[in-house]
A and B are shown apart, each in its own frame.
Chain A
Amino acid sequence: MNASYYLRSDENSTGAIENRIGVLTAGSEFKVLNKKGNALQIEITKMSSSSQVRKSEKIWIWKGNNTHFTELDTTIAASTEGQSPQVKCENCETPVTKVTEVKKKNVDSIQAVAREITNQANQAPPVASITAGSLDDKIINYSKSSEVASAIKWAEKNNGLFSYRKCYRQVKFALAAKDANKNSLIPGRFSDEAAIGAKNSLKNYGFINLMDIEPYKTQMKAPSQAPKGSVLVYSSGIKCPNSKIKDCGHVEIKASDTSYVSDYKSSYAINETPRARRFGTNYKLIGIMVKPMETK
C-alpha cells in the first residue's frame, strides 16, 4: 500500500464517518484475517508512525486500488511500501487480442468508474489523513455534546413561525445557552452586524469552517450533508437595509436532518426549500461551522 486508507469497525464502506476508527498510512503492514469482496478484515503487524487507530474488536480496510497494496508472500500479508505489480503486455500486436481487449475495456471502464467512486470514499488523503481521522471524532463529539443539545433546545424553544430578520441574534443566543454543567459553545452574545459575519466571528470562539478543510471541503456542499449542530452560514447577495454591508447573509443551526432553526424553524435549509429548488435562490452555503471537541 503506498497510500493512506481509513480503518473501519465493520465491512461497510459507504463513505460515512461513523464506522471510521483510524487511518493506516504508508509504511504499515497487516495480515488479512477475512475477506468480503474488497473489504478485508485485518490484523495490523506493523504500524507506521503517522498511523492512528482506536481500539476495536475488528479492523476492516477497503482494498479498492490494487496498485496501492503489495503482497509480501502467499499468506496474503501486505506491505505499504511495495511497488505496484508490473504487467507485461505480450502479443500486443495480435488483432484478435485487440478486439477482445476493446470489448473488455468497455466493461472494465464502467467497473473502474464504480470502483473509483468507492475508493475515493475509503482512501484517506495522505497529507490530511491524521487530521481528518482525529477531526472526525472531534466533530462527532461536538454533535453529541451537551452544549450542542442545549443550543438546539434553546433555539427550538425560541423561534417564531416566520423569520423576523433576527436570525444571527437568535443563533448567538442559542450558542450561548448553557448546559447542566454551565458550559456553552460561546461565552456570551457578542456584537456583530450581518449574519454573514458569523463565518469569521465564530472562529474566535474555537469554531472551524469545514468548507475550508479537506476532505470535508470536497465532500460537503449542501446543508443536508452537514453534521448535526453545525452552524450554517450563507451569503445572500442582498444588501443590508440602511447599511454599507452589501451582503447580509443568513445563519441557522442544523438541529437535525429535518429541522433547521434560527429566528424561525423550518424542515428545510434556506437554500433547500422546495421553492428554492424549483425557482433558485440567492442563498449560497459558505460556512459549515463546528467546534471540534475532545470529549462529548
Chain B
Amino acid sequence: MKTYIAFLIVSILTSVSFTQNLSGAERGNRAGLSIRLANFVSPTFNSDLAAFAELQLTEKDDLELVKNVLKSLIVLENTPEADGGDRSRTSLDVIADSYLKNTAIYEKAIKSLSAKNNKNEKALKEYKEILSRKSPVQ
C-alpha cells in the first residue's frame, strides 16, 4: 500500500512538472521575443510587448525575459524622443495586467536589476508603484 501511495505521488508530481515545462518551440518563441524586445526601435516592439503581456510566466523559464523587458523600458524612456524614445510610459499600461498576474516574478526581476544598477533603481521603483496601483490612473 505504501509503495502504491508513493508511486501515485511521484506520478502526480512528474505529471505536474512535465506540464509546467515549456516545449522546445515555445522556448524558442520566448527567446526570439526577448531578443526582439531588446531592440526598442524595432517596428514590432509594440506587438511583441503585447504578446509578452499575454504570456503565462514562470519564474524558472521567464525571469530573464521579464528582466529584459524592464531593461528595454528603461532604455526606451531615457532615449531622446527625436531618436524614438517615449516618455509617456505607455508601455507600462500594456504590461499592467501581466504584472498583476505574475507579481512575484516581476518583483524578483526588479530586485535583481535594482541591485545591479543604482541608476535603474529609481525608475524601477516608479514602475512598481505605477504597476501595482489598484485604482485607475486618476
Contacts and interface: CB of A to CB of B under 8 A. Distances in A.
Interface of A: 161-169, 192-195, 236, 238-243, 245, 248, 250, 264, 266-268, 270, 273-275, 278-283
Interface in B73-121: 77, 81-90, 92-94, 96-97, 100
A275 B84 contact: yes
Contacts of A270: 88, 90
A169 to B, nearest CB: 5
What are the 10 closest A-B residue pairs judged by CB atoms, nearest first?
A240-B136, A241-B96, A168-B138, A243-B136, A238-B93, A163-B89, A165-B137, A163-B88, A275-B84, A162-B87
Contacts of A163: 87-90
A-side interface mostly: loop
A241 B138 contact: no
Contact of B84 (A268, A274, A282): A274
B46 A241 contact: no
Interface in B119-138: 123, 126, 129-131, 133-138
A241 B136 contact: yes
Contact of A167 (B77, B130, B131, B137): B137
A20 to B, nearest CB: 35
Interface string B47-87: 00000000000000000000000000000010001111111
B43 to A, nearest CB: 6
Which of B45, B88, B89, B133 has the largest count of A CB atoms less than 10 A from its CB?
B88
A275 B86 CA distance: 7
Contact of A280 (B46, B85, B136): B46
Contact of B81 (A194, A239, A243, A274): A274
B88 A250 contact: yes
A270 B86 CA distance: 9
A267 B97 contact: no
Given A165-B133, A275-B86, A279-B43, A236 B138 contact: no
Contact of B90 (A195, A278, A282): A282
Nearest to B86: A275
25 contacts: A162-B77, A162-B89, A162-B123, A163-B88, A163-B90, A164-B89, A164-B130, A165-B89, A165-B133, A168-B138, A192-B138, A193-B136, A194-B136, A236-B93, A238-B93, A241-B93, A241-B133, A242-B134, A243-B135, A248-B93, A264-B87, A274-B84, A275-B81, A275-B84, A279-B45
A282 B86 CA distance: 13
Q: Chain B interface residue count: which class?
A: 20 to 34
B-side interface mostly: helix
Given A195-B137, A239-B97, A242-B135, A266 B87 contact: yes
B7 to A, nearest CB: 44
Given A192-B138, A241-B100, A266-B87, 13 more contacts: A162-B123, A163-B89, A163-B90, A164-B89, A165-B133, A238-B93, A241-B97, A242-B134, A243-B136, A245-B136, A248-B137, A273-B88, A274-B82
A242 B136 contact: yes
A195 B83 CA distance: 27
A207 B75 CA distance: 39
A279 B129 CA distance: 28
Contacts of B97: 239, 241
A166 B137 contact: yes
Nearest to A283: B90
A238 B136 contact: no
Which of B96, B97, B129 has the largest count of A CB atoms less than 10 A from its CB?
B96
Nearest to B126: A164
Contacts of A236: 90, 93
Contact of A166 (B100, B134, B138): B138
A267 B134 CA distance: 31
A58 to B, nearest CB: 43
